[in-house]
Chain A
Amino acid sequence: MARKTILPEDQIPRQWYNITPDLPHGLQPPLHPGTLQPPGPDDLAPIFPMPLIEQEVSQERWIDIPEPVLDVYRIWRPTPLVRAVSFEKFLDAPVKIYYKNEGYSPPGSHKPNTAVAQAYFNKEFGIKRLCTETGAGQWGSALAFACSFFDLECKVFMVRISYDQKPYRRLMMMTWGATCVASPTDTTDAGRKILETNPDSPGSLGLAISEAVETAVTSKDIPTRYCLGSVLNHVLLHQTVVGQEAKKQMEMVGDYPDVVIGCAGGGSNFAGLSFPFAQDKINGKEVQIIAAEPTSCPTMTRGPFAYDLGDVAGMTPLLAMFTLGHDFVPPPIHAGGLRYHGMAPLISQLIRDGIIEPRAYHNLETFEAGLDWAKTEGYISAPETNHALAAVIEVAKEAKEEGKEKTILVNWSGHGLLDLAAYEDYLAGKLTDFALPEEEIKRALKAIEGLPKPQ
């Protein structure tokens, strides 16, 4: 049986798919936190170039991909669709599993699908420098790669704690010609303010965003804009080449998925694969679409997990009640999307519309899935990608229990070759020995008991 389905280069999608006009109940516009009005071009123009702002609010279903973007895409696109034959055998369940190999790109993930587009539109708009923040460094390296094709300067604010842990991602960015600095820096007001009170600050993603945005909007000498690697509509839009290719490839093998799966951090790779299938679902086709996200809590093994999508305003999830074998049950928490605060609005909307189903997986089971995958399919996955693989395993188990054949399509969003330290922790058993010993907990809590409660 053939494993790979290769789409010829001339079949690369020529347009991105914008799901906004197809949403069953529309998309609630985001509000400007200052004015509480939907942000207008004046609010956005200092941050993003106009073509990307237009895409952000576009109601056009199809948006042309410019030829220079296609030209860079052709370095690694179309990506292979692969039948995970060995993983299927290992799972011994009535499932066919196909994966889209987005780790095939030079930076090793799906992120360049939008990085290249964003670099191009900024360049066309006369911008000379791009700024962004990065956590693990996947996005920073993708943008550095993209900027090198369009002769743009690239400055990446990498959260210090990651900067110190991940020298190779930083070196990739530098190899592609970008500047990568540890945030907080003393080059911005936001950074200086933190450094004044805490010179050893490990930084945070929020602060790195502030530094990157500040640099973009205050640059007087070099026209500079800010870029984001996930969450926003135009980013998800650019990723839809993945799902469009997958659809054609599934057609080539005469199949169609019963279940489409992706891991969801900000939501971009998940959207990229699933939105073209979500369009079919909106139009009446039966397909289950699962967004796999992280929770560190072992919901299945250690007690009930209550999870409800409605809160008072009907907008944010009510989270979370765990019982974990301690005699402690935390109160239900209404937090403005404790889980979803970083999730793309388009995906949150499709969850509310019942088109997408979110499922959560904890650390351990995702690494177990990653190891099973590496031993069968060969590829070592990014830790994020392992969440999607954990979902594949869960769906396969369900298929077995139901005695029902299922075809699964999953986005293999990136390789984990620069995340081997995380695998080392797992292999060394550090992740399994994770829960603090009961004695230790009791000792610490006992010590708190005697203290007056702060007012």
Chain B
Amino acid sequence: MLDVKTAFDELETRCPQLGGPVPFDYCRKVAEGLPCSRALICWELHFPVGQYLRRILTEEEWKKAFETPSLSRLERILSAADRFRDQGGG
């Protein structure tokens, strides 16, 4: 039987962030279990990814994945540093 959650997992595309091929499975879970914020753009050609993800994600998960501004690179670096600086000397 078709497992709905994994129906498209084996399809592959090129990830512009990593610079190499990735399966949909990767894009579906890469952001702490949620889809990459680019997933809708990268996968639209292959299948109705928006419609599909709307079905398998809760409203809250969808919002977190696609409607929350993602951190800029510097913000990401600063928040990572904040998390660990207390432990360090540097």
Q: How far is the CA of A180 from the CA of B43 in the complex (A)?
A: 30
**CA A339 – CA B76 in complex, angstroms?**
16
Measured between beta carbons, the chain B residues less than 8 angstroms from A137 are 19
CA distance A322 to B22 in the complex (A): 22
Closest to A223 in B: B90
The answer to whether the Cβ of A177 comes within 8 Å of any Cβ in the partner chain is no
> Which residues of chain A in 420-455 are interfacial with respect to chain B, using CB atoms and an 8 Å cutoff?
421-422, 425, 430, 434-436, 440-441, 443-445, 447-448, 451, 453-455
Please tell me if the beta carbons of A189 and B84 are within 8 angstroms of each other in the complex: yes
Contact B52 A316 (CB under 8 A): no
> Which residues of B are found within 8 Å of A106, using beta-carbon distances?
none
Of the 9-residue stretches A59-67, A295-303, A370-378, which lies at the interface with chain B? A295-303
Closest to A165 in B: B20
User: Please, what's the 1-or-0 string for B56-87, where 1 marks a CB less than 8 Å from any CB in chain A?
Assistant: 11110100001111111111111111111101
Q: Is the Cβ of B78 less than 8 Å from the Cβ of A436?
A: no
Interface residues on chain B, size class: 35 or more
- Is there contact, CB below 8 Å, between B67 and A333? yes
A12 at the interface (CB under 8 A from B): no
B29 to A: closest C-beta gap in Å = 9
Known contacts A330-B50, A425-B21, A444-B7; A220/B41 CB under 8 A = no
Contact with A along B24-60 (1 / 0, CB 8 A): 0010001100000110111111111011100111110
Please classify how large the interface on chain A is, using the bins under 10, 10 to 19, 20 to 34, 35 or more. 35 or more
Q: Say how far A62's CB is from chain B's closest CB, in angstroms.
A: 24
Chain A residues with CB under 8 A of B78: 32-34, 39, 43-44, 47
Nearest CB to that of A434 among chain B residues? B46
Which segment of A115-123, A226-234, A254-262, A351-359 sits at the interface? A226-234
Which listed residue, A138, A189, A320, touches B40 by the CB 8 Å rule? Answer: A320
- The stretch of A198-206, A238-246, A269-277, A388-396 that contacts the partner chain: A198-206
Among A204, A217, A454, the residue within 8 A (CB) of B56 is A454
Which B residues are CB-close (under 8 A) to A30?
Answer: 72, 74-75
Please tell me which one of the listed residues B21, B30, B58 contacts residue A422 in the complex, with CB atoms under 8 A apart. B21
Q: Which residues in chain A, 277-324, are within 8 Å of chain B measured between CB atoms? A: 293-298, 302, 316, 319-320, 322, 324
Whether B37 contacts A338 by the Cβ 8 Å rule is yes
Q: Please tell me if the beta carbons of B2 and A443 are within 8 angstroms of each other in the complex.
A: yes
Ordered nearest first, which 9 A-B pairs have the shortest CB separation?
A336-B69, A136-B19, A218-B88, A330-B50, A135-B18, A213-B80, A444-B7, A220-B89, A294-B16
Contact surface of A with B, Cβ cutoff 8 Å = 30-34, 39, 43-47, 135-138, 159, 161-162, 165-166, 189-190, 202, 204-206, 209-210, 213-214, 216-220, 223-226, 228, 231-232, 265-266, 293-298, 302, 316, 319-320, 322, 324, 326, 328, 330-331, 333-339, 341-342, 345, 362-363, 383-384, 419, 421-422, 425, 430, 434-436, 440-441, 443-445, 447-448, 451, 453-455
Chain A to chain B contacts (Cβ below 8 Å), 9 pairs: A32-B78, A33-B75, A34-B79, A39-B78, A45-B90, A189-B84, A302-B45, A330-B40, A435-B45
